[in-house]
């Protein structure tokens, strides 16, 4: 079935731009962590015009297209389904353009440029793209998922740092909105349609992003908190004065923290042999100011010391000052350590910051009452209202098989977050096939209708993407 299309695409793009052999396709069929399917073929155009021509050819052939950046997404949106009838459109060759304008503080890049390549090029100018992640996605993929990361508190998400966009549309045209301006108020900001919509309206072939000076110093502390409310009081107290230099406020529950030291002996446990408190907050400050003007480590230590003399103090159990790398190592080992504890069901939830403590308590209470064999190991970006609730159990203890338990727990926890706490079932990972069911459950019908109108206009044959918005 792939024969005619593959040969059309080879004529358009050259022999090695198209792969059809099953062995060659494997690495495009499986995501970094999630998502696995079977592709009809893989095609890798090298310019926006080639992407547009590829889409036109696929449209003519009636073949569904899955745009794929670096394939690091977490919701299965960049891999084909199991049918073997979808074409993977990889951006891996669309990575030539990378122009930095240090006075405008912008970079103009191809959609397939990797975050690491962009930051490497920017470093020479003392600049960076401030989305901070464990993975190394492509810029196009970051736009299609509206990536957040750990420093959203200060810098915002991809949407906040995106000035312009270039998109290949399903009909083979190219929409050029490569705006270099911070202020350009001329009607509909069309780029917004392509941010966080998983490539269903078009393929992001280029972008203009705003970039920022690299901070020269960072300071971090771990603060033990006797309760979730204490962690929120700490957040508010610190934010009042330190807002300008406050880059991260991560919170880790004892249940999520303890396994880190069990599974990673190299990671130092600041609590030693004592049991950690209910929550541990990782506070980070960063600044472009030189230490001579502002000593962040001294400032943070002094501010935390002052707090210990106020009414917030009662609920603060410990304060550890330490090196950013050491403290972030703890945070970054959480997910993996939990996988060493048993079966893990990970959530990517947000609620209003003010309701975070109440939400996690309610989730815990629900689990204790109805799923006592499940441990609630929550951690996340409390400064941004995000929490990666991780539920952990062992198959032996569970009275229900995982295949039934997983969807049941998802429904219960998402319902709690969305319906009772004005929260979201996808804080930062996006929709994708993995969250399709919840998108359908929670999206207002008026919003779905707007989506439908846009889809009918931009991709009437419905050839783009695996998500149905």
Give Cα 164 distance to the centre of its chain. Answer: 20
Nearer to a copy of itself, 188 or 396 (CB): 188
Residues 384-423 binding a copy of itself (CB under 8 A) are 384-386, 422-423
Q: Quick check: 227 binds a copy of itself (CB under 8 A)?
A: no
Q: Quick check: 124 binds a copy of itself (CB under 8 A)?
A: no
Tokens 């991709």 belong to residue: 459
- Rounded CA Rg of the chain: 23
- Give the number of other Cβ atoms within 10 Å of residue 325's Cβ: 9
The stretch near a copy of itself (CB under 8 A) out of 48-56, 243-251, 252-260, 307-315 is: 243-251
Determine the size of the site formed for a copy of itself (CB under 8 A): 95
Residues 292-321 binding a copy of itself (CB under 8 A) are 293-294, 299, 302
How many residues appear in the chain? 469
Residues 172-201 binding a copy of itself (CB under 8 A) are 173, 175-177, 180-190, 192-193, 195-198
CB 124 to a copy of itself: min, Å: 13
Q: Quick check: 103 binds a copy of itself (CB under 8 A)?
A: yes
**How is residue 317 written in tokens?**
């159990």
Give Cα 207 distance to the centre of its chain. Answer: 18
Q: Quick check: 381 binds a copy of itself (CB under 8 A)?
A: yes
CB 102 to a copy of itself: min, Å: 7
**Cα gap 342→392, rounded to integer Å:** 6
**How is residue 241 written in tokens?**
């004065």
- How much helix, strand and coil, in percent to the nearest 5, is found in the chain? 40, 25, 35
**Cα gap 288→213, rounded to integer Å:** 7
Region for 71 from its dihedrals, namely left if φ exceeds 0, alpha if ψ lies in -120 to 50, beta otherwise: left
Q: Quick check: 36 binds a copy of itself (CB under 8 A)?
A: no
**Cα gap 95→113, rounded to integer Å:** 4
- Find the distance separating the first CA and the last CA of the chain, reported in whole Å: 28
The stretch near a copy of itself (CB under 8 A) out of 26-34, 63-71, 405-413, 456-464 is: 456-464
Nearer to a copy of itself, 372 or 452 (CB): 452
Q: Quick check: 287 binds a copy of itself (CB under 8 A)?
A: yes
Helix (H) or strand (E) holding 390: strand 386-393
Nearer to a copy of itself, 66 or 458 (CB): 458
**How is residue 42 written in tokens?**
């893989």
CB 130 to a copy of itself: min, Å: 11
Residues 436-455 binding a copy of itself (CB under 8 A) are 439, 442-444, 446-447, 449-451, 453-454
CB 236 to a copy of itself: min, Å: 5
């Amino acid at each position: 079935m792939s024969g005619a299309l593959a040969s059309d695409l080879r004529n358009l793009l050259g022999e090695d731009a198209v792969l059809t052999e099953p062995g060659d396709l494997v690495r495009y069929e499986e995501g970094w962590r999630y998502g696995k399917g079977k592709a009809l073929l893989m095609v890798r155009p090298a310019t926006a015009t080639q992407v547009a021509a590829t889409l036109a050819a696929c449209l003519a052939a009636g073949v569904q297209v899955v745009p794929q950046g670096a394939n690091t997404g977490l919701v299965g949106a960049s891999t084909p389904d199991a049918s073997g009838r979808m074409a993977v459109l990889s951006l891996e060759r669309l990575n030539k353009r990378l122009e930095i304008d240090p006075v405008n503080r912008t970079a103009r890049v191809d959609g397939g440029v990797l975050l690491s390549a962009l930051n490497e090029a920017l470093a020479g100018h003392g600049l960076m793209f401030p989305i901070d992640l464990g993975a190394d996605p492509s810029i196009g993929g970051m736009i299609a998922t509206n990536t957040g990361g750990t420093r959203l508190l200060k810098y915002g998400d991809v949407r906040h740092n995106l000035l312009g966009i270039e998109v290949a549309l399903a009909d083979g045209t190219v929409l050029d909105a490569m705006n270099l301006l911070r202020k350009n108020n001329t009607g509909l900001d069309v780029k917004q349609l392509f941010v966080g919509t998983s490539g269903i309206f078009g393929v992001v072939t280029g972008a203009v992003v705003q970039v920022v000076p690299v901070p020269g110093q960072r300071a971090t502390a771990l603060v033990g908190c006797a309760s979730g409310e204490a962690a929120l009081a700490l957040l508010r107290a610190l934010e009042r004065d330190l807002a300008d230099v406050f880059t991260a406020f991560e919170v880790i529950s004892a249940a999520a923290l303890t396994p880190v030291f069990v599974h990673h002996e190299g990671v130092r446990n600041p609590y030693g042999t004592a049991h950690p408190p209910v929550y541990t907050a990782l506070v980070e400050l960063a600044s472009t100011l030189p230490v001579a003007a502002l000593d962040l480590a001294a400032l943070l230590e002094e501010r935390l010391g002052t707090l210990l003399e106020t009414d917030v103090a009662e609920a603060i159990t410990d304060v550890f000052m330490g090196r950013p790398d050491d403290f972030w190592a703890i945070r970054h080992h959480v997910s993996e350590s939990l996988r060493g504890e048993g079966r893990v069901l990970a959530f990517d939830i947000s609620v209003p910051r003010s309701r975070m403590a109440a939400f996690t308590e309610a989730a815990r209470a629900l689990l204790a009452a109805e799923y006592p064999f499940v441990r609630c190991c929550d951690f996340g970006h409390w400064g941004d209202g995000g929490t990666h609730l991780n539920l952990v159990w062992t198959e032996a203890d569970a009275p229900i098989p995982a295949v039934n338990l997983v969807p049941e727990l998802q429904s219960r926890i998402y319902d709690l977050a969305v319906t009772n706490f004005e929260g979201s079932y996808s804080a930062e990972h996006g929709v994708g096939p993995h969250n399709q069911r919840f998108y359908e459950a929670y999206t207002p019908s008026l919003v779905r209708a707007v989506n439908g109108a846009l889809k009918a206009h931009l991709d009437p044959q419905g050839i783009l993407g695996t998500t149905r918005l």
